[in-house]
Amino acid sequence: MDGIGKVLVGIAVVALAASIAGYWQLTRSGQHKLVLVIAVMLYVVSFVIAPGRSRELHGLVGLLRIAGFVGVLFGVAGHVSRLRPR
């Protein structure tokens, strides 16, 4: 992997960590539906982008799909924990 590839992977890791932190903050504030809406939007947008032969776009599509999937997990987990009687 060349230097630019390492930078792109680093940017993707930071972006994924930021999305997880954002999902966590939204889930803590009780906005589970907003988390689900954002996650589904990211996941759907990942299928609209045609990456072609560009490694940057392949990375973006993968990042959007992972962030969307993680967001759905956060949203569903927050919703289920809210429904559970205490």
How do the domains of the chain map onto residue ranges?
A: 3-83
Contact residues for 68 (Cβ-Cβ < 8 A; gap 6+):
39, 40, 41, 42, 43, 44, 46
Question: Mean pLDDT of successive 10-residue segments in the chain (86 residues)?
Answer: 87 94 90 91 93 88 94 90 72
What local confidence, expressed as pLDDT, does residue 55 receive?
87
What local confidence, expressed as pLDDT, does residue 84 receive?
67
What local confidence, expressed as pLDDT, does residue 86 receive?
63
CA dihedral 53, 57, 62, 67 (to 10 degrees): -170
